[in-house]
Amino acid sequence: MSDRVRNYINGKWADSKSTEWQDVVNPATNEILASVPLNGGRDVDAAAKAAQAAFLEWRDTPPGDRIQYLFKLKQALEDNFEDLARVLTMENGKTLADARGELRRGIENVEVACGIPTMMQGQMLENIARGIDEIMIRQPVGVVAAITPFNFPGMIPLWFLPYAIACGNAMIVKPSERVPLTMERFFQVVDTIGLPPGVLSCVNGGKETVDAILEHPLIKGVSFVGSTPVARYVYATAAANGKRVQCQAGAKNHVVILPDADLEMTSRMVADAAFGCSGQRCLAVSVAVTVGDAHEKFREAMVESARALRVGYGLDEGVQMGPVITKQSQDRIEGAIARGISQGATALLDGRNASISGYEAGSFVNPTVLDGLPWSSDLTTTEIFGPVLSLNNVSELDQAIEIINSNPFGNASSIFTSSGIAARQFRNKVNTGNVGVNIGVAAPMAYFPFSGWKDSFLGVLHGQSWDAIDFYTDKKVVVERWPAEWSRSF
């Protein structure tokens, strides 16, 4: 890692033209790892021009040849897997096991995108009228960009990047300024596979860099993952500038526990779903709704599972949960806990004022369980994005479904039960894009789209799989007539 994070433009490492820099901090130790540029508007222009020049040649490269670079990328990522995972843990704070899991899911997208020669195929119908054929073909959009968040700095760029370039586009990645080192290390891997210069670029920065991407005339499409307020801004600004755009946004995910659920399995899986990655994932469970007499037993098991989690530095052996991303996030999360208690919740576990031996300077919040948070509380519709789980009880499954459906977010929900009838009712009626049955984190595999409804998604086409193919290609319809008399001389 360099002292100053560099951009990767036109197949070369380049120092940023930025005049403002920000420290990249290890959230477990408060150690400064590097500094990252903030105002990278001129860097975006250089990357976009290089990408456009590369696109004109890359789009005509046969799909079977384009995916050869993805095969190389897959192997190069495997060869550098442990190093990438360690860098990710150092700058993000999640455990090494979580970092490895994240990278594995990212690599799965590279593998799926290797199927582009089949996935990108069009359609054809002969004789739509006598002697007339109609063909639909897919062509790449052009230069596209991905603006990615801090919580999954390795996986989320790979929701987009493999599909974009396999379809024949050139892509610019803008990682979160909080965690730029994973993508810097990733592009060091990219630099070894011989990809034509300009097909992939990485530009760092903050809001000014984002605005430059949203406004640049050469950039035709934008993929974004982040909070709902920022997603709305990105979506509106990109659309106003004539770009196609997809924005995965915030979440408030619920899990429903019925009395017939396996208590030991359920509490263990809900603890992982709520506190894994310190609750900093868009699929994190933040509300557990028990039905009927499931509440008391589940509450006791949940507290026991949460209390047993070992919190610390993610590179240390046996640690199960790391810090949150910054001191500012720690303060915000602790403020939300205090607000919940003041509004009537009982703190069965209070994670504030955590002190981890040897890492006292870190940004730690211990697992927190709030029981009986009133439905009138603003926290019921606030994405806390930290290791905080609230427990509530209702008498019927329909009530639990209504609570989920009335929430403005619609990213994910799960049910734990041994009843197939209840599970089917839940999956049919619940208004979330990702649904789990006896699954804590309903994360779609790479060959399914990462869904999301309501305020959790803006756009039409999601990331991954066939949605990615549709997003990164334009459909062209060709109608052909070849009258027989024109060819009589042959």
Is 382 exposed, middle or buried, given 0-12, 13-18 or 19+ CB atoms closer than 10 A?
middle
State how far the Cα of 442 lies from the Cα of 440, in Å rounded to an integer.
Answer: 6
Asked if residue 110 lies in contact with residue 158, where contact means CB atoms within 8 angstroms, the answer is yes
Structure tokens at 52: 């456009």
Q: Is 202 a catalytic residue?
A: no
State how far the Cα of 452 lies from the Cα of 437, in Å rounded to an integer.
Answer: 17
Is the Cα torsion angle 346, 352, 356, 362 positive or negative in sign?
Answer: positive
Catalytic annotation, pick one of 114, 247, 277, 282? 282
Is 111 exposed, middle or buried, given 0-12, 13-18 or 19+ CB atoms closer than 10 A?
middle
CA distances from 17 to 180, 200, 289, 338, 379 (A): 16, 19, 51, 43, 41
Coil vs helix vs strand at 307: helix
Of 280, 287, 323, give the one whose Cα is nearest residue 400: 287
Question: Which residues, in sequence order, are bridge partners of residue 124?
Answer: 135
State how far the Cα of 414 lies from the Cα of 342, in Å rounded to an integer.
Answer: 28
State how far the Cα of 243 lies from the Cα of 5, in Å rounded to an integer.
Answer: 29
CA distances from 373 to 268, 339, 340, 380 (A): 22, 10, 7, 8
Of 117, 81, 102, 89, give the one whose Cα is nearest residue 33: 89
Asked if residue 289 lies in contact with residue 403, where contact means CB atoms within 8 angstroms, the answer is yes
Asked if residue 40 lies in contact with residue 203, where contact means CB atoms within 8 angstroms, the answer is yes
Coil vs helix vs strand at 32: strand
Structure tokens at 187: 């592009």
State how far the Cα of 308 lies from the Cα of 432, in Å rounded to an integer.
Answer: 31
Is the Cα torsion angle 443, 445, 446, 451 positive or negative in sign?
Answer: negative
Ordered strands of the 473-481 beta sheet: 123-129, 132-140, 473-481
Structure tokens at 250: 């915030």
Positions annotated as catalytic residues are 282
